[in-house]
Amino acid sequence: MGIDNKIINILILNVLFGMPLFGDGIRQILYNVITLQKRFFMYINLKIISNSFQFGNLQSIKGFGILILLLAFMSTGCTSDLAGAGGVSDLGVHGTPEDPHSIPTNTETLLAPTATITPTPTATPYPSPIGKLAFVSFRDGNNEIYTMNADGTELRRLTTTQEEEDVPQWSPNGNWIAFSAYYEDNWDVYVMHAGGGSLTRLTNEVGKDWAPNWSPEGNRIAFTSFRDGNWEIYIMSSNGDNLRRITNNLAADSRPVWSPDGQQLAFDSNRGGSADIYLVNADGSGLRRLTQNEAADADPVWSPDGSQIAFRSWRDGNAEIYILDVDGDGLVRVTDNMVDDGIPAWSPDGRKMAFREEKNGNWEIFTFDVSEDRLTMLTEDGAYDGDPIWSPNGLHLVFQSNRDGNAEIYLIAADGSSYTRLTFVSPAFDGSPDWSPN
């Protein structure tokens, strides 16, 4: 048998029985055949033709014809089969095969894998504000108490007098609002249900009773009074009973704020000459001076965990914010500039403080991250922005601004990303906002 018949027989055996010629499996054989068409068999075919015509071997010519037909059949079938199995990716971009063992051995047509479409991520919307706001409005020709949802909806007027009401504060359970009102030629402390209704007068003395402040458990109210001819601090039950004078000094004692556990009050007093921060137990005992400076220290605010007190100090020539441990140690200066800073407000988690600061001739809202010692400017407007109040979850603040020509209340995200105007009355005054605890 000549070389042509040997080659033909080998190829036929490989096709019929899957015997390996250069690799493992019939698909490798087909691949080898295609490759050898350009390399090996070109040489063999030429050799056979040369020998056949040279010796006149008709049998060789016949064998050569069969070989050409077989190669054409195999090339067509192999190419189709490889293409159906993703031939381009199997052979590679430049014709270099991948691992031959990864090629499927079945002959059915395989569909190309469907591309996975990755959805475009969408920004998570900032949470909506929760709770309600109480505030003072002059839209009726005098100061009245209003409430609304924290998003500005469901506006409701609570007081309907021809007199003046001011400084509303929510009870810890969110059911009541205490405030000061000027009725019958005197300022006194009143309380009313948050949903509206009749007023309850808690104090009735000649002399101004001002700025009621609920205890954390909600059963007592502290306030400042001028009934004795100077400013003193008093405590009473939330229904007006059990009135008790806490301070007794010829100086001015004012702005009492409860400790988070309800056991103490912090306040400022000038009994030492200049204003300083003092602590006293809720029963009037244990008076202690916390700061002692020739310049004024005032406006104390407890941290949520009760371990520190933030306050304003003029010891550096202008109003700056400081933090002090309740034992009198660990004084930290928060702001350091040549302008004034307003009363700080702690965030509910105690990590930040918000306050107003004078900048470029007007007041803006800033936050200070206590743990990271980082100051962030939240507002930037050529008008007054001040009196920031945190939401119960710490995600928003409300503040008062006259950026639109008159005092209105605005809502801002705690990261400063967005703000919303909540009140729309012009000309009028809307201010002194307080956020409900629920």
| 9-58 pLDDT per residue, tens | 444 444 444 444 444 454 454 455 445 444 444 444 444 444 444 444 44
CA 259/CA 273 separation, integer angstroms? 25
CA 432/CA 170 separation, integer angstroms? 12
Q: Give 101-105 contacts, CB < 8 A, sequence gap 24+.
A: 101/24, 103/25, 103/27, 103/28, 104/27, 105/25, 105/26, 105/27
N-to-C CA span, the chain: 101
How many of the other CB atoms lie within 10 Å of CB of 317? Answer: 8
Domains of the chain, each with CATH number or no CATH: 3-102 (no CATH), 134-435 (2.120.10.30)
Our CA angle for 71, 77, 82, nearest 5°, is 120
Q: What is the pLDDT of residue 103?
A: 38
Q: Taking a C-beta distance cutoff of 8 angstroms, is the pair 67, 74 a contact? A: no
Q: What is the pLDDT of residue 122?
A: 58
Which residues have a Cβ under 8 Å from the Cβ of 6 and sit 6 or more positions away? none
Give the chain's residues under pLDDT 50: 1-3, 8-24, 26-27, 29-30, 33-34, 36-112
Q: What is the pLDDT of residue 123?
A: 59
CA 437/CA 23 separation, integer angstroms? 78
Q: What is the pLDDT of residue 237?
A: 98
Q: Taking a C-beta distance cutoff of 8 angstroms, is the pair 131, 398 a contact? A: no
Q: What is the pLDDT of residue 124?
A: 65
CA 167/CA 388 separation, integer angstroms? 14
Look up residue 235 and give its amino acid: I
Strand order in the sheet with 264-272: 253-258, 264-272, 274-281, 288-289
Q: What is the pLDDT of residue 419?
A: 92
DSSP secondary structure of 120-180: PP-PPPPPPP-SEEEEEE-TTSS-EEEEEETTS-S-EE----SSEEEEEEE-TTSSEEEEE
CA 396/CA 295 separation, integer angstroms? 34
Q: What is the pLDDT of residue 438?
A: 83
| 116-160 pLDDT per residue, tens | 565 655 556 788 999 999 999 999 999 999 999 999 999 999 999
Q: Record the pTM.
A: 0.71
Q: Retrieve residue 352's tokens.
A: 């930040």
Q: Taking a C-beta distance cutoff of 8 angstroms, is the pair 428, 141 a contact? A: no
DSSP secondary structure of 271-325: EESEEEEEEEETTS---EE----SS-EEEEEE-TTSSEEEEEE-TTSS-EEEEEE
Selection from 202, 269, 276 nearest residue 233 by Cα: 269
